[in-house]
Amino acid sequence: MHPKRKQRLLVIGVLVCGVGLTTALVLNALNENINLFYPPDQIVAGLAPIDQRIRAGGMVVEGSVFRETGSMTVSFVISDLAGSNVPVTFEGILPNLFGEGQGIVANGRLGADGVFVASEVLAKHDENYMPAELAAMQGRKPPMGNTVNAGSNGYSAGG
Amino acid sequence: MIPELGHFALALALGFALLLAILPIAGTYTGRVVWMRSGGSLAAGMFVFLLLSYICLTYAFLADDFSVAYVAQNSNSLLPTYYKFSAVWGAHEGSFLLWTLIMAGWTLAVALRSQGLPLDMLARVLGVMGLISIGFILFMLLTSNPFERLLPMSPTDGSDLNPQLQDFGLIVHPPMLYVGYVGFSVAFAFAIAALMSGRLDAAWARWSRPWTNVAWAFLTVGIALGSWWAYYELGWGGWWFWDAVENASFMPWLVGTALIHSLAVTEKRGVFRSWTVLLAIATFSLVLLGAFIVRSGVLTSVHSFAVDPERGFYIMVFLLLVVGGSLALYALRAPVMRADANYDGLSREVMLLVNNVLLVVATAAVLLGTLYPLIYEAMTGGDKLSVGPPYFNAVFVPLMLLLLIAMGAGPLARWKRTSFDELWRQLARIAVVSLALGVVLPLVFAGALDFWAVAGISVAVWVVLSLVQDTLSRIAHKGDWSSRLAAVPKLGAGYLGMWVAHFGIAVSVVGIAMVVVYSDERDVRMVPGDTVEVGGWDFRFDGIRQVDGPNWSADEGIITVLKNGRERFTLRPQKRHYPVRGMIMTQAAINPRITRDLYVALGEPLGAQAWAVRVHYKPFVRWIWLGALLMALGGVMAAVDRRYRRLAERAVERRQNVAGQLAEGRS
Amino acid sequence: MRAPSATASRPGLHRASLFIPLGVFLLVLLLLWRGFSLGDPHALPSALLNHPLPDFALPVLHEPDRIVSSEAMHGEPFLLNVWATWCPTCRAEHAELNRISKEYGVPIFGINYKDNPAEARRWLARFGDPYVFSVVDADGSLGIDLGVYGAPETFLVDADGVIRYKRVGAVDQRVWDTKLAPLLAELRDAS
């Protein structure tokens, strides 16, 4: 083979291998490791999958935080302030900025009994910071424009 | 008056930046040597006025001038003085002033240290840096003026610096990071200047290399400091979260690493020229993209600044002009002619190509993961998702393992062609020893085996042993051992810098593998007298006491650590309350050793004297940051290679010739 | 990403491929633009947009004995501003509110949010009081009903008490000129 052709093939070969491998890794990882966000109204409406890793978020309802004595388990209720409430349990240490009336986002799984079992709880960072999911949560409730409801995956029809 | 002076100095600096962007480059087109030479003084002027502006802002902090909105929002009369210095870069406006000042510092450094460059090349480089500076300074004047006053209603006291930033790590982390970020503008400016002039040769790569190495070294330290800070300050014991803002700093690092290696090929062998230029543009583009992500709030993160769409819009337009413009220039001017040099299927060129491909696809995967929430939202019309660390680990770790394997073989491969038999003869033994040590070492330290620990330790040993093998073969021709040792420093700072940096990678890899696999962590409820065992150590909770600081008060836990029933030391984690901001901060207590950290953080009180306590055992966690320091040291070592200085001396003559010719051409 | 230039037997094709990075970049930028406009928090529509103000019964800041409901604000289009003394941005915004109240005669009502009433009264005495009155929302319950993220926030409410616009963050002259004033003029024309 002509050396120049060979050199060129080599470069293309390395590139194709690298890109191909990465694409395979990315597709595989994206399939398994993305967490869809569900606001309380969708969870209450049964639109969230049971026992899959998802993300839920809302405001912690005042007076709902309850710690079991003698263990690290804590339970509370998150709400979208529009009537949909989801009970959450979590075992572990809550973030510093967790509090009643605060917005939080939790990663975890929804049980068949409707209780969200959180593996991780994220609280807002300061008074200027709001997790993007929560900021948008309110935006999706009012009469929706045609942009929101494109029928993309059946989950967006929540409001 | 001082804040107004600072504002005025900022405006003057803009004037200098405008002149710097126009005059020297115009000089190269019209052949006016005086215009081309003006770059140095204009860069100095820009730097001096930005420095003045910066000093004014610092003064406003030290003098508790709460009529300045930025000071009122980020300081307090009770804030300790050393934090008043660092509070200057504690939020968006001031940190961007620092960023711009550093940009001017790099510009001035290029003007001062590039006497060896052809005059027209230097003029173009400084002009490009002036152009970028215009964007930065205008950004501040239009959207982020740090000197804005709260008049006539000035508050009597400020609302304090965010307590998370009241910490040593956060004093040093941002400046390091910014020096690194902005330092890549030099490589960018060199690439653009080369595209403008059409002289994309080995000399261009040689000029860029030391600057790129230094910028890379600073970025490495900056990222490591950020990781260290997150580790001890956030109270989670994590050292990397794949958070959008972390990724924003990591992507330029990855592509910058590719750039360093690609520059080497272009300098030594004259190949991959267009590719190297593209990497230089890509690195700085990712820096700007990172700035956008951090400062626009488009992706939420614990690190991002308060959200402001106006700023985001400005940066987006800036991105479009700078990155879009330079990529368009690249598309039109990058050389498409065939490279002269030949290389074989197995050669150092190909090894470096593998390095580049792996680093770039890894960056692309990180970019995709970082932006995927936006992609998804755009495609579904508003649905939200998050991409967690598992995605990044699943993609990134295999790619890096491949990269590390190539990294062992790379330095041993020769330019142009390497015989496979020769390479195999050197590497076969090393491969066997690496695997053996990869199995034995974790067994010795942890008494348990795990695939990822074996893989991590093996590749780390593999990298180190190949480095040793390479050095040995380079000094083998020198008779006895003492003269061989004496020959090591003569291998050159460039080579030794590579050695140290690669060694640093191996050190970090050991740290990562060990801490990921063998960490032990417990969240427990403890009442005074309770003991918990983590990582072979016993932690006894001895109660809580109250402590007060200058602008906080805290609950301090007293935790006695025992080994085999004997008391060894006490850890005092705190839960601090900062009243001005009403914020609670976790202050972890750490007992650091080279082979392990013991880490204790307080959770919340659970009533009846009980507290939630988080206890970590973190083996080899320090190695992660130690390795990063070694990498940075290697980068700096390579940058001071005498080669570059000799080159500068030779180029002085050439430059005088060019200047002479240009002067003649004009008359 | 493009292959490193090794050879180019057909230069035309090769030159075209040099445009790939530019294309990729423009795509990313487009995406950021989308995400950015979707996520713009200052233009955040409230859950209550085009809904009536939630009911409340809260004391007036300067007359603690007087309990008012939202009806006390109805009559003509007005601004409802969430503020607190602990919020530096409110301080920055305050001059603009004073100006709007004085120059345009727009009624502005305040919600003194999670604050100390005594301090709040001192604050208004010192910096000027643009409010017809402020209600004391000490525990932030009205704030929760309104979906308040923090202070300051400003709602534009029509004569019948229906929320027409919400601004998260400070109201400055630009926001007034470009958003609030035109909307207010519209509401006034309509009523």
Selected residue of C36, C85, C119 to mutate for chain B interface (largest B Cβ count, 10 A): C36
In a domain, B35, yes or no: yes
Q: What is the CA radius of gyration of chain C?
A: 24
Is C14 in contact with B336 (Cβ distance < 8 A)? Answer: yes
* Distance of alpha carbon B635 from alpha carbon B633, whole angstroms: 5
Instruction: Based on the fold, state whether residues B146 and B293 are members of the same structural domain.
Output: no
- pLDDT for B649 equals 64
In a domain, B299, yes or no: yes
Is C7 in contact with A8 (Cβ distance < 8 A)? Answer: yes
Farthest-apart Cα atoms in chain C, separation: 89
- A96 in contact with C at a CB cutoff of 8 Å? no
Distance from CA of C61 to the nearest CA of B (A): 21
Q: Which residue has the higher pLDDT, C17 or A158?
A: C17
Domain housing B564: 522-622
- C43 in contact with B at a CB cutoff of 8 Å? yes
Please give the ipTM for the structure prediction: 0.80
Is C4 in contact with A11 (Cβ distance < 8 A)? Answer: yes
Q: Nearest residue on chain A to C48, judged by CA atoms?
A: A142
* Distance of alpha carbon A5 from alpha carbon B342, whole angstroms: 11
Per-residue pLDDT band at A142 (split at 50, 70, 90): very low
Per DSSP, the residues of B211-227 read HHHHHHHHHHHHHHHHH
Cα–Cα distance list, B433 to B459, B460, B461 (Å) = 11, 12, 8
- pLDDT for B182 equals 94
Is B306 in contact with A15 (Cβ distance < 8 A)? Answer: no
Instruction: Based on the fold, state whether residues B3 and B140 are members of the same structural domain.
Output: yes
* Distance of alpha carbon A63 from alpha carbon B450, whole angstroms: 45
- C95 in contact with B at a CB cutoff of 8 Å? yes
- Residue B532, H or E segment: strand B531-534
For residue range C44-88, list pLDDT tens digits in order: 444 567 778 888 889 999 888 888 888 888 888 899 998 887 666
Distance from CA of A70 to the nearest CA of C (A): 31
Taking residues B23-30, what's their average pLDDT? 90
Terminal C-alpha separation, chain C: 59
Is A142 in contact with C149 (Cβ distance < 8 A)? Answer: no
Is A35 in contact with B388 (Cβ distance < 8 A)? Answer: yes
Interface A–B counts its CB contacts (< 8 A) at 150
Per-residue pLDDT band at C35 (split at 50, 70, 90): low
Q: Nearest residue on chain A to B615, judged by CA atoms?
A: A93
- pLDDT for A158 equals 22
Domain final position from B418, B452, B481: B418
Domain final position from B398, B418, B438: B418
| Nearest partner of B403 among B510, B525, B297, B509, judged by Cα | B509
Taking residues B456-466, what's their average pLDDT? 95
Instruction: Based on the fold, state whether residues B145 and B258 are members of the same structural domain.
Output: no
Please tell me the total count of domains within chain B: 3
Q: Which residues of A touch C113 (CB under 8 A)?
A: none
Q: Nearest residue on chain C to B277, judged by CA atoms?
A: C4
Is A97 in contact with B584 (Cβ distance < 8 A)? Answer: yes
Distance from CA of A30 to the nearest CA of C (A): 19
Which residues neighbour B413 within 8 Å (Cβ) at sequence distance 6 or greater?
B346, B347, B348, B350, B351, B423
- C149 in contact with B at a CB cutoff of 8 Å? no
Farthest-apart Cα atoms in chain A, separation: 78
- pLDDT surpasses 70 at B308: no
- pLDDT surpasses 80 at B470: yes
Terminal C-alpha separation, chain A: 65
Lowest mean pLDDT among A27-41, B315-329, B383-397, B400-414: A27-41
- Count of alpha carbons within 13 angstroms of residue B634, beta-carbon side: 21
- Count of alpha carbons within 13 angstroms of residue C1, beta-carbon side: 28
Kindly report the CA angle at A84 between A108 and A135, in degrees rounded to 5?
70
Phi, psi of B435 (to 5 degrees): -60, -45
Q: What is the pTM of this model?
A: 0.81
For residue range C138-172, list pLDDT tens digits in order: 877 887 777 776 678 888 998 888 888 888 777 87
For residue range B478-531, list pLDDT tens digits in order: 778 888 888 888 888 889 999 999 999 999 999 999 999 999 988 888 999 999
Structure tokens, B350: 């190909």
- A138 in contact with B at a CB cutoff of 8 Å? no
Nearest-by-Cβ selection for C144 from A7, A8, A101:
A101
**C166, β-bridge pairs:** C155
In a domain, B167, yes or no: no
Phi, psi of A11 (to 5 degrees): -60, -45
- pLDDT surpasses 60 at B665: no
Sheet holding B520-526, edge to edge: B520-526, B610-619, B596-607, B589-592
Q: Which residue has the higher pLDDT, A79 or B56?
A: B56
In a domain, B294, yes or no: yes
Taking residues C96-101, what's their average pLDDT? 88
- pLDDT surpasses 80 at C39: no
Instruction: Based on the fold, state whether residues B408 and B543 are members of the same structural domain.
Output: no
Q: Which residue has the higher pLDDT, B622 or B313?
A: B622
Structure tokens, A131: 């997790």
Is B372 in contact with A15 (Cβ distance < 8 A)? Answer: no
Phi, psi of A87 (to 5 degrees): -75, 140
- pLDDT for B340 equals 55
Instruction: Based on the fold, state whether residues B116 and B215 are members of the same structural domain.
Output: no
For residue range B316-373, list pLDDT tens digits in order: 889 999 999 999 999 988 876 555 567 777 788 888 888 999 999 999 999 998 888 8
- C41 in contact with B at a CB cutoff of 8 Å? yes
Average pLDDT, chain B: 87
Instruction: Based on the fold, state whether residues B154 and B212 are members of the same structural domain.
Output: no
Is B316 in contact with C29 (Cβ distance < 8 A)? Answer: yes
Is C21 in contact with B328 (Cβ distance < 8 A)? Answer: no
- pLDDT for C44 equals 45
Q: With H, G, I as helix, E, B as strand and everything else as coil, classify residue B520.
A: strand
- pLDDT for B44 equals 95
Nearest-by-Cβ selection for C44 from A80, A81, A139:
A139
- pLDDT for A61 equals 83
Q: With H, G, I as helix, E, B as strand and everything else as coil, classify residue B298.
A: coil
- Count of alpha carbons within 13 angstroms of residue B554, beta-carbon side: 22
Q: Is there a contact between B192 and B127 (Cβ–Cβ < 8 Å)?
A: no
- A2 in contact with C at a CB cutoff of 8 Å? no
Q: Which residues of B touch A55 (CB under 8 A)?
A: 384-386
Which residues neighbour B62 within 8 Å (Cβ) at sequence distance 6 or greater?
B81, B84, B85
- pLDDT for A154 equals 23
Is B331 in contact with C126 (Cβ distance < 8 A)? Answer: no
Which residues neighbour A102 within 8 Å (Cβ) at sequence distance 6 or greater?
A59, A60, A123, A124
- pLDDT for C6 equals 41
Taking residues B253-273, what's their average pLDDT? 90
Distance from CA of A150 to the nearest CA of C (A): 15
DSSP code of C61?
S
- Antiparallel, parallel or unpaired: β A53-60 and A73-79: antiparallel
Q: Which residue has the higher pLDDT, B477 or B662?
A: B477
Instruction: Based on the fold, state whether residues B266 and B123 are members of the same structural domain.
Output: no
Q: What is the CA radius of gyration of chain B?
A: 27
Structure tokens, B301: 């993160």
Handedness of CA B534, B536, B537, B540 (dihedral sign): positive
Nearest-by-Cβ selection for A26 from B365, B524, B585:
B365
Selected residue of C22, C99, C175 to mutate for chain B interface (largest B Cβ count, 10 A): C22
Per DSSP, the residues of B103-149 read HHHHHHHHHHH-TTS-HHHHHHHHHHHHHHHHHHHHHHHHH--TT-B
Is C41 in contact with A7 (Cβ distance < 8 A)? Answer: no
How large a percentage of chain A has pLDDT more than 70? 72
For residue range A82-128, list pLDDT tens digits in order: 678 899 999 888 887 787 777 788 889 998 888 999 988 887 553 33
| Nearest partner of A128 among B10, C168, B72, judged by Cα | C168
Is A34 in contact with B307 (Cβ distance < 8 A)? Answer: no
For residue range B93-105, list pLDDT tens digits in order: 898 999 999 999 9
Q: Which residues of A touch C150 (CB under 8 A)?
A: 127-128
| Nearest partner of B61 among B105, B14, B103, B98, judged by Cα | B98
- pLDDT surpasses 80 at B662: no
- pLDDT for A130 equals 42
Q: Which residue has the higher pLDDT, B190 or C73?
A: B190
Is B382 in contact with A128 (Cβ distance < 8 A)? Answer: no
Q: Which residue has the higher pLDDT, B50 or A4?
A: B50
Is B275 in contact with C2 (Cβ distance < 8 A)? Answer: yes
Query: Is CATH 3.90.79.10 correct for C49-190?
Result: no
Is A97 in contact with B300 (Cβ distance < 8 A)? Answer: no
Per DSSP, the residues of B234-286 read SSS--S----HHHHHHHHHHHHHHHHHHHHHHHHHH--SHHHHHHHHHHHHHH
Overall residue count recorded for chain B in this entry: 667
Q: Which residue has the higher pLDDT, B129 or B351?
A: B129
Cα–Cα distance list, B283 to A9, B323, C116 (Å) = 27, 10, 51
Q: Nearest residue on chain C to B159, judged by CA atoms?
A: C88
In a domain, B635, yes or no: no
Distance from CA of C189 to the nearest CA of A (A): 25
Taking residues B625-654, what's their average pLDDT? 81
